[in-house]
């Protein structure tokens, strides 16, 4: 069975009125895990840094689409800033992992605060079989964000950190998790950034001036 196709990220138009009223047209889900999908809600980190988690309704809808909330529920306005703070803490961990640098302690403190809000595990009987799940949370929105924090904690705190990537394309800042067997993925998506990079290098080869006979370093190349 083929996996459902995940739509690619749509590029933001050059003409864009910011701040956006809602960012939901610009969310994408290609990172491979919720912690990195959340980081990708700040678009174009390499230039305009466009906020796409724009208000309480965006937070609720993002969590629903991420599969962390069964339905959109009212979100307290202060949770918008809190969700963005969690996102930037995760990204600080991401950038440190990619650079092979120590994770900033402030980032760990923020993620840790959220991890503690996870819904406690619960064991229930379903048709005579015990099923491990989680208890109903008092605050489903906080518990859902805690689920993202837990994903970040697992990713940053294990060997999985070696599989965190930032897309190689200069005009893309997508973060993604490299789950490929060889672990050599360079682009957030082969169909978008990978393809554009191939076209660019092909064009560069075609327009490069032809090499003349005597090469400066005297080495003949194939
Ligand atoms: Zn990319």
pLDDT given at position 1: 47
pTM reported for the whole predicted model: 0.87
pLDDT given at position 215: 40
pLDDT given at position 66: 96
User: Phi/psi at 165 (nearest 5 deg)?
Assistant: -135, 155
Residue ranges per domain, the chain?
24-123+131-207
pLDDT given at position 219: 37
Q: How far is CA 212 from CA 205, 208, 216, in A?
A: 15, 12, 10
pLDDT given at position 5: 61
Determine the distance separating the centroid of ligand 1 and the alpha carbon of 86, expressed in angstroms: 23
Determine the distance separating the centroid of ligand 1 and the alpha carbon of 175, expressed in angstroms: 8
pLDDT given at position 161: 97
pLDDT in tens, the chain (222 residues): 455 566 778 899 999 999 999 999 999 999 999 999 999 999 999 999 999 999 999 999 999 999 999 887 999 999 999 999 999 999 999 999 999 999 999 999 999 999 999 989 999 999 999 999 988 888 999 999 999 999 999 999 999 999 999 999 999 999 999 999 999 999 999 888 999 888 888 888 888 765 554 443 433 334
CA angle in degrees (0–180, nearest 5) for 58-62-145: 105
Is the distance from CB of 46 to CB of 172 less than 8 angstroms? Answer: yes
175: helix, strand or coil: strand
| CATH ID of 24-123+131-207, from 3.40.470.10, 1.10.287.110, 1.10.579.10, 1.10.3300.10 | 1.10.3300.10
Determine the distance separating the centroid of ligand 1 and the alpha carbon of 192, expressed in angstroms: 7
Determine the distance separating the centroid of ligand 1 and the alpha carbon of 173, expressed in angstroms: 6
C-alpha R_g of the chain: 21
Spatial distance between the Cα atoms of 36 and 91, rounded to a whole number of angstroms:
8
């Amino acid at each position: 069975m083929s996996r459902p196709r995940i739509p690619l990220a749509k590029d933001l138009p050059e003409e864009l009125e910011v701040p956006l009223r809602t960012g939901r047209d610009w969310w994408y889900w290609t990172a491979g895990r919720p912690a990195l999908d959340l980081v990708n809600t700040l678009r174009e980190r390499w230039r305009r840094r466009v906020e796409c988690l724009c208000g309480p309704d965006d937070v609720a809808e993002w969590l629903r689409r991420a599969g962390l909330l069964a339905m959109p529920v009212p979100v307290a306005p202060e949770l918008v800033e809190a969700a963005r703070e969690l996102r930037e803490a995760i990204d600080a961990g991401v950038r440190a992992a990619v650079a092979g640098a120590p994770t900033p302690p402030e980032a760990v403190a923020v993620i840790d605060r959220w991890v503690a809000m996870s819904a406690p595990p619960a064991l229930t009987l379903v048709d005579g079989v015990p099923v491990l799940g989680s208890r109903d949370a008092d605050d489903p929105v906080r518990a859902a964000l805690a689920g993202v924090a837990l994903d970040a904690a697992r990713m940053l705190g294990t060997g999985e950190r070696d599989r965190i990537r930032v897309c190689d394309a200069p005009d893309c800042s997508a973060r993604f998790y490299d789950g490929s067997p060889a672990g050599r993925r360079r682009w957030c998506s082969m169909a978008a950034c990978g393809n554009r990079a191939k076209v660019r290098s092909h064009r560069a080869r075609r327009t490069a001036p032809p090499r003349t006979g005597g090469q400066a370093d005297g080495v003949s190349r194939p």
